Amino acid sequence: MINLETPKKHKAFVEQAHQVAMNMLRPISRKYDLAEHEYPKELDMLAAMIDGLESSGSSEGAGATGVRVEASADKGNKNGSNLASVLSVQEMCWGDTGLMLAFPRQGLGNSAIASVATDEQMERFKGTWASMAITEPSFGSDSSAITTTAKKDGDHYVINGEKIFVTAGDRSDSIVVWATLDKSLGKAAIKSFVVFKDTPGVKVERLEHKLGIRASDTAVITFTDARVPAENLLGNPEINVKEGFAGAMATFDNTRPLVAAMAVGCARASLDLTRDLLKQAGVEIDYDKPAYLQSAAAAKFLQLESDWEGAHLLTLQAAWMADNKLPNSLEASMSKAKAGRVGSDVTLSCVELCTGVGYAETELLEKWARDSKILDIFEGTQQIQQLIVARRILGLSSAELK
């Protein structure tokens, strides 16, 4: 059974992540928000520290990990790398979401590799910094509408298409590209490929200017007759029409709880600062009194904390299920839907509660409100997550419930 407290084995690591967020990310947060597209050089030192932890076996498995549902003889409660990842991501985003997304070798593409790659591929792509390219100009959250093609040519695939909103697309050294092997076969023909940035035909066309997470670069990338070794197709190259889109969706079972953790961490930062600012203004929050007996500001704050707790627990559940080899697709979407909405609501409400102080750049509240909005959009919008949850609860297919 899941234990809703932070596991003892992860507490030291989570505290380390919190210290990094507080002492290394927070101090440079505003700097790289204003200097959009400038690479945060300070992160190189942090990456070196993490590499050292991993080589010593002390990293607790944090970082980009994969969801692999397998039969297990172990009936006990396992708190593994998936739970460690969401806890560490939450703490890092308490420091700065954009900087966390700019972290070397911790791209969303790394989670895709960890989710569906073979053991041989896991070893071969170890150490790469992989962004993930899914969205195209013709669609947003409907990943099954992919038009980028991958045509087999001897021992290579030839990839053609355009991808937009690629997080870390300029700075990463490889890209996990989603493409279709045969459009006529529908979702089942969609596969993901590891494409290195120096591959001829791969071009970063431009970087986007954004509302938030400005420390992270977001790129438009085109692929023109890019030849990729056949062994770079992640997982099984066979097209299984019966399986449909399930293989590709395994990636989202991993990345959606991570994005939920980002929203939870950013919202927690806003709540912590707002509590302090309210206290300075003479507003006391009493956890032993009913909300209706307190000031309107205190009552609103208690409601926001309650919403945050629900998002936090759903995120932990999705990660814990992955660690214990339980199918977590429903819970992954539930955590992403809940945390994405709560993150935006909490950060904007904190700006409102702190009035002019919240709106000004003297504090980071306005920045967190801008940063949090993307967490309700990428990796599947709020509306898409609700649709997925409804389909799974009602037992309906995508054709039956659109």
Question: Where in the sequence numbering do the catalytic residues fall?
Answer: 379
Concatenated DSSP letters of 45-105: HHHHHHHHHHHHT-STT-SS--------S--S----HHHHHHHHHHHHHHH-HHHHHT-TT
Nearest C-alpha neighbor of 163 from the set 251, 77, 97, 222: 222
CA–CA separation, 22 vs 16, rounded Å? 10
- Residues 6+ away with beta carbon under 8 Å from 251: 111, 112, 115, 116, 132, 192
CA–CA separation, 396 vs 19, rounded Å? 45
Q: Contact 331/318 with Cβ under 8 angstroms? A: yes
Packing angle of the helix pair 296-323, 329-353 (nearest 10 deg)? 160
CA–CA separation, 45 vs 26, rounded Å? 16
* Tokens representing residue 302 in the block: 């208690």
- Residues 6+ away with beta carbon under 8 Å from 96: 21, 25, 26, 28, 29, 32, 215, 371
In this structure, what is the dihedral angle of CA atoms 275, 279, 281, 283, given to the nearest 10 degrees? 90
Pairing of strands 149-153, 156-167: antiparallel
Nearest C-alpha neighbor of 93 from the set 181, 29, 36, 189: 29
- Residues 6+ away with beta carbon under 8 Å from 142: 384
CA–CA separation, 63 vs 110, rounded Å? 9
Q: Which residue has the tokens 């899941």?
A: 2
CA–CA separation, 82 vs 87, rounded Å? 9
Task: Return the SS3 of 298.
Answer: helix
